Amino acid sequence: MAEITLNFPDGAQKSYEAGIKPIEVASSIAKSLAKKSVSAKLNGHYVGMNDPLTEGGDFQLITTADEESLDILRHSTSHLLAQAMRRLPKFAHAHFGVGPFIENGFYYDTDNGAGNQVSVEDFPEIEAMMKKIVKEDLPILSHEISRAEALETFKDDPYKVELINDLPEDEPISVAVQGEHIELDRGGLVPSTGWIKHFKLVSVAGSYWRGQSDNAVLQRVYGTAFWNAEDLEADLQRRAEAKERDHRNIGRDLDLFFTSQKVGSGLPVWLPNGATIRRQVERYIVDKELANDYLHVYTPVLSNLNLYKTSGHWDHYREDMFPPMDMGDGEFLELRPMNCPSHISVYQHKPRSYRDLPLRIAELGMMHRYEKSGALTGLSRVREMTLNDGHTFVAPDQLEEEFKSILKMTMAVYEDFNITDYRFRLSYRDPENTAKYFDDDEMWEKSQAQLKRAMDDMGLDYFEAPGEAAFYGPKLDIQTKTALGGEETLSTIQLDFLLPERFDLTYVGEDGQDNHRPVMLHRGIVGTMERFTAYLIEMYKGAFPTWLAPLQVQIIPVNNGAHGAYANKIKQKLQEAGLRANVETKEAKMGYLIREAQTKKVPYTLVLGDDEQDNQTVTVRRYGQQETEKMSADAFKDLVLKDVANYSRVAE
């Protein structure tokens, strides 16, 4: 029998008889290792623990201690789900799409025919069958098959047939078998169904086959799995707690904003509390921009449609714009979907010299987009929004430096908000589908390289995302995760060689010629006020830092009659210092009022009675704390002012 040589990750080499299984290799090293080994990798490809090794090479065992093992578990759980559904009469003839692991679990796309879709009500029955199959502890074995065999095996599964037909000619096709169930599969599975003990089906939702909106919609069943019950329980708990962070719930509980059918879908109304938070953010960012040489302007939300025809927005986004208003005299007005053409008009208003550059125009610009109904979500996806928009016009040789300075300002803002969880994404055009983008290969190559070079210069980590560029150029997007786990763009810096061309922007160079073409940078730091506020709500779970809190100080007189006047005096003192304070006059027991101040997450609660009044002091209780502290009214004022001045930064 032939021998094969395996190279282990620690550098060791060992020879085995060909046909040996990873489980046997593991046992030869240590019994305990065999017990916790989930799968193996040979030369970077998965091999099941019970599949024979026919060749040597770099060999690695994956154990339950490896992060990767969770992916394997979840991938296996998706197969288990499919097998269980097939065993139930109701789903015996269901067709299956793909069933991969994802970040927090797995999903499987199913098609049980219109009107018979799987629903959450079916979950208990499916889960019960899954558990039964786990008990059967069916071995999971993989092997290669020919294309013809594969097509024969999956002939009743049209989606699988499509997948097989789309595999490149030279790609080997493998399947995974567990009991009566067979899956088209590349590997990375647990040794047997008995390994899958702790799992849960989470939700089901429609989803286009292969992500193409002209394809059929399949029912995507989501689930998750863990190695032990505690982790599963903790994850389900996390999912439930994430809902408590949802800005839509907090927005209602704290009276921040509402949306209603009466006003219109996707058109949020900012209540006083929410408006206060927004106003603080707006004042903050405008001041920051002014300090960074931005020139703030006001431009109309409504403009001549031709502006957007020239810019290309009309061509690219007509479907997502509000219909133009026909004024009857040949003029068409459009609710602007973007502010760039307005700021370009500012640039064009008079001849520009190279000495003016970089020219930085900024505005809290309100824009309207007719977002598809299914996309609307609270404040994070709306039809009317105000963008923290800025456009910088630079000479081509100033581009990289300006890019870097914008990025520095952005990161300084993040520090003030104590935003630490973000990633840089370089968004390039999709090389497979260049039709959606401005057609100038050289421009794309050059600007994408410039972007990358600037990031490398600054020594920042990033990932590259083909297909995420704007139609006019590549961009740097700063990505974050929302409370509910969604990926979201917080800030963006976009390179634009196109619009200066389209609008024929020029500046007078040192040579006196007014034929030099500037480059534009589009940037948003705190994004739209709507989305950013939603983000803040979720990040702080409604417990806003003092500088943003709608109400900063709640004052509770022990007795309205006896201490009301003193309470009002303190309130006035605080208000004169620019703070937001309120005296509670409701007739209620103190415990009740204290509780209310805490549930409304007011940063500071003052209780004022005889003692305070006699000594001109206040008794302070901070949000989330039980202890109280007595201090002079002035000391308290200074304390809060200092807190406000610190923004959200981590206290020194």
Partner RNA sequence: GCCGACUUAGCUCAGCUGGUAGAGCACCGCUCUUGUAAAGCGGGGGUCGAAGGUUCGAAUCCUUUAGUCGGCACCA
Q: Specify the residue, 100 or 509, whose C-beta has the smaller distance to RNA.
A: 100
Site for RNA in 158-217 (CB under 7 A): 203-208, 211-213, 217
R_g (Cα) of the chain, nearest Å: 31
Work out whether 484 is an interface residue with RNA (CB under 7 A).
Answer: yes
Residue of 64, 117, 405, 506 interacting with RNA (CB under 7 A): 117
Contact segment (CB under 7 A) with RNA among 348-356, 457-465, 581-589, 635-643 equals 581-589
Work out whether 373 is an interface residue with RNA (CB under 7 A).
Answer: yes
Site for RNA in 418-477 (CB under 7 A): 436, 470-471
> Token pair of 251, please?
């927005």
Q: Specify the residue, 168 or 591, whose C-beta has the smaller distance to RNA.
A: 591
SS3 sequence of 509-521: CCCCCCCECCEEE
Q: How far is CA 370 from CA 87, 274, 377, 497, 562, in A?
A: 45, 24, 13, 27, 56
Select from 11, 2, 37 the least CA-distant residue to 23: 37
Contact segment (CB under 7 A) with RNA among 32-40, 183-191, 366-374, 446-454 equals 366-374
Work out whether 146 is an interface residue with RNA (CB under 7 A).
Answer: no
Q: Specify the residue, 192 or 613, whose C-beta has the smaller distance to RNA.
A: 613
In whole angstroms, what is the distance from residue 294 CA to residue 525 CA? 13
Q: Specify the residue, 351 or 486, whose C-beta has the smaller distance to RNA.
A: 486
> Token pair of 626, please?
């039980």
Work out whether 375 is an interface residue with RNA (CB under 7 A).
Answer: yes
In whole angstroms, what is the distance from residue 415 CA to residue 200 CA? 39
Q: Specify the residue, 98 or 145, whose C-beta has the smaller distance to RNA.
A: 98
Site for RNA in 67-106 (CB under 7 A): none
Q: Say whether 340 counts as a known binding-site residue.
A: yes
Contacts of 406 (CB under 8 A, 6+ apart): 390, 392, 493, 521, 523
What length does the chain have? 652
Work out whether 284 is an interface residue with RNA (CB under 7 A).
Answer: no
Q: Specify the residue, 340 or 536, whose C-beta has the smaller distance to RNA.
A: 340
Q: Could you tell me the smallest distance in angstroms from the CB atom of residue 484 to RNA?
A: 6
Q: Could you tell me the smallest distance in angstroms from the CB atom of residue 634 to RNA?
A: 18
- Residue count, binding to RNA (CB under 7 A): 75
Work out whether 558 is an interface residue with RNA (CB under 7 A).
Answer: yes
Contacts of 278 (CB under 8 A, 6+ apart): 270, 529, 533
Q: Specify the residue, 130 or 608, whose C-beta has the smaller distance to RNA.
A: 608
Residue of 590, 631, 635, 639 interacting with RNA (CB under 7 A): 590
Residue 342, burial from CB neighbour count under 10 angstroms (0-12, 13-18, 19+)? buried
What count of other Cβ atoms lies within 10 Å of the Cβ of residue 616? 12
Q: Map residue 326 onto helix, strand or coil.
A: strand
Work out whether 219 is an interface residue with RNA (CB under 7 A).
Answer: yes
Work out whether 125 is an interface residue with RNA (CB under 7 A).
Answer: no
Q: Map residue 145 onto helix, strand or coil.
A: strand
Whether the link from the prior residue into 358 is cis, omega within 30° of 0, is yes
Residue of 13, 28, 165, 559 interacting with RNA (CB under 7 A): 559
Is the distance from CB of 7 to CB of 57 less than 8 angstroms? Answer: yes
Q: Specify the residue, 565 or 588, whose C-beta has the smaller distance to RNA.
A: 588
Residue of 284, 317, 332, 647 interacting with RNA (CB under 7 A): 317
Q: How far is CA 293 from CA 94, 290, 360, in A?
A: 62, 5, 7
Contact segment (CB under 7 A) with RNA among 292-300, 313-321, 572-580, 640-648 equals 313-321
Burial 243-269 (b: 16+ CB within 10 A, else e): eebbbbebbeebebbebeeeeeebebe
Work out whether 41 is an interface residue with RNA (CB under 7 A).
Answer: no
Work out whether 378 is an interface residue with RNA (CB under 7 A).
Answer: yes
Work out whether 639 is an interface residue with RNA (CB under 7 A).
Answer: no
Q: How far is CA 504 from CA 395, 562, 606, in A?
A: 14, 72, 61
Work out whether 5 is an interface residue with RNA (CB under 7 A).
Answer: no
SS3 sequence of 632-647: EHHHHHHHHHHHHHCC
Helix H or strand E segment including 60: strand 57-63
Q: Specify the residue, 164 or 495, whose C-beta has the smaller distance to RNA.
A: 495
Is the distance from CB of 601 to CB of 254 less than 8 angstroms? Answer: yes
Amino acid at 63: T
Select from 651, 650, 628, 484 the least CA-distant residue to 556: 628
Q: Specify the residue, 351 or 467, whose C-beta has the smaller distance to RNA.
A: 467
Draw the binding track, 591-630, toward RNA (x: CB under 7 A; -: no contact): xx-xx--xx-----x-xxxxxx------x-x--x-x-x--
Site for RNA in 509-538 (CB under 7 A): 522
Helix H or strand E segment including 104: none
Q: Specify the residue, 48 or 473, whose C-beta has the smaller distance to RNA.
A: 473
Work out whether 229 is an interface residue with RNA (CB under 7 A).
Answer: no
Contact segment (CB under 7 A) with RNA among 28-36, 109-117, 151-159, 173-181 equals 109-117
In whole angstroms, what is the distance from residue 125 CA to residue 171 CA? 38
Q: Could you tell me the smallest distance in angstroms from the CB atom of residue 377 to RNA?
A: 5
Q: Could you tell me the smallest distance in angstroms from the CB atom of residue 539 to RNA?
A: 17
Work out whether 389 is an interface residue with RNA (CB under 7 A).
Answer: no
Q: Could you tell me the smallest distance in angstroms from the CB atom of residue 311 to RNA?
A: 8
Is the distance from CB of 7 to CB of 157 less than 8 angstroms? Answer: no
Is the distance from CB of 362 to CB of 526 less than 8 angstroms? Answer: no
Q: Say whether 296 counts as a known binding-site residue.
A: no
Contact segment (CB under 7 A) with RNA among 92-100, 352-360, 392-400, 580-588 equals 580-588
Q: Could you tell me the smallest distance in angstroms from the CB atom of residue 170 to RNA?
A: 28
Q: Specify the residue, 27 or 249, whose C-beta has the smaller distance to RNA.
A: 249
Contacts of 16 (CB under 8 A, 6+ apart): 3, 4, 5, 6, 24, 25, 28, 53
Work out whether 324 is an interface residue with RNA (CB under 7 A).
Answer: no
Work out whether 369 is an interface residue with RNA (CB under 7 A).
Answer: yes
Residue of 252, 279, 569, 573 interacting with RNA (CB under 7 A): 252
Select from 237, 284, 239, 244 the least CA-distant residue to 601: 244
Which conformational region is residue 348 in: left (phi greater than 0), alpha (psi within -120 to 50 degrees), or beta?
Answer: alpha
Binding-site members are 340, 391, 522
Binding-site members for Zn(2+) are 340, 391, 522
